[in-house]
C-alpha cells in the first residue's frame, strides 16, 4: 500500500513539474495573431477574382435571364388568352409552362452549384497562398505560434501581423 501511495505521489510530482516546464515554454514562445477574414476582404485580387468569375458565368446567367423572360411572357399569354383558349389548348399551354419552369429551376440550381464550387476553389487557392505567406513571415520573424484572430479573446496590437500578411500578399 505504501508503494502505491509513493507511486501516485511521484506521478503527481512529475506531472506538476512537466506542467511547469510546459507553462515556461509557452511563456517564452513568440506568438502572433492574424485576422484571416479581414486580410481576405482587403485583398486587391478579391475584386479581380469576382470579376473573372462574373465573366466566366456571364453567358449562362444571361441565358437564364432570357429563359425567365420567356417564361413570364408565356405566363402572361396564358392568362390573357385563357378565356378564348379551348380546354385542350389551355392544358397544353399549362403543361408547357410548368415544364419550362421546372427546367429553369433545374438549370438555375446547377448554375448556382457550379458558381459556388468555383468561388470555393478560388477562395481555397487564396487561403492556401495566405497560409504560405503567414508561414514565411513566421519563419522570417521567428514566431513559434501564429493564431487566427477570430479564435482569440484578446491580443495586444503588437501581436497582430495581419497588415504584414496583407502587404506581402498584395505585392506578390
Q: Is pLDDT above 50 for 106?
A: yes
CA–CA separation, 45 and 42 (whole Å): 9
* CA pair distance 28, 7, nearest whole angstrom: 32
Q: Pick the residue with more confidence: 153 or 10?
A: 153
pTM over 0.85: no
CB 149 within 8 A of CB 34: yes
Whether residue 27 has pLDDT greater than 70 = no
Domains of the chain and any CATH numbers: 2-171 (3.30.910.20)
Q: Residue 18's pLDDT is what?
A: 47
Q: What are phi and psi of 146, to 5 degrees?
A: -125, 120
pLDDT at residue number 136:
95
Which three-class secondary structure state does DSSP give residue 161?
coil
**Cα separation of 15 and 113, whole Å?**
52
Residue tagged 458565368 (cell numbers): 57
3-state class of 149 per DSSP? helix
Share the mean pLDDT of the chain: 85
Higher pLDDT, 139 or 11: 139
Q: Which tens digit of pLDDT belongs to each residue from 65-87?
A: 999 999 999 999 999 998 999 99
**Distances, alpha carbon 160 to alpha carbons 32, 95, 115, 152, 154, in Å:** 6, 61, 34, 11, 11
Query: Residue 103: is its pLDDT beyond 50?
Result: yes
Q: Interhelix angle for 162-171 vs 87-141, to 10°?
A: 110
What is the pLDDT confidence band of residue 40, given thresholds at 50, 70 and 90? very high
Amino acid at each position: 500500500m505504501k508503494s502505491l501511495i509513493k507511486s501516485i505521489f511521484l506521478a503527481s510530482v512529475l506531472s506538476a513539474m512537466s506542467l511547469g516546464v510546459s507553462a515556461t515554454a509557452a511563456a517564452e514562445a513568440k506568438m502572433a495573431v492574424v485576422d484571416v477574414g479581414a486580410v481576405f476582404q482587403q485583398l486587391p485580387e478579391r475584386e479581380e477574382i469576382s470579376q473573372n468569375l462574373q465573366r466566366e458565368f456571364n453567358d449562362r446567367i444571361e441565358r437564364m435571364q432570357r429563359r425567365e423572360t420567356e417564361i413570364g411572357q408565356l405566363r402572361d399569354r396564358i392568362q390573357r388568352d385563357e378565356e378564348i383558349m379551348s380546354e385542350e389548348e389551355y392544358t397544353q399551354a399549362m403543361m408547357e409552362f410548368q415544364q419550362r419552369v421546372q427546367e429553369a429551376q433545374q438549370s438555375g440550381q446547377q448554375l448556382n452549384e457550379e458558381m459556388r464550387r468555383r468561388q470555393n476553389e478560388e477562395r481555397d487557392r487564396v487561403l492556401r497562398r495566405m497560409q504560405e505567406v503567414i508561414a514565411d513571415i513566421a519563419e522570417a520573424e521567428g514566431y513559434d505560434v501564429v493564431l487566427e484572430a477570430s479564435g482569440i479573446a484578446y491580443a495586444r496590437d503588437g501581436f497582430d501581423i495581419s497588415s504584414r500578411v496583407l502587404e506581402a500578399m498584395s505585392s506578390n
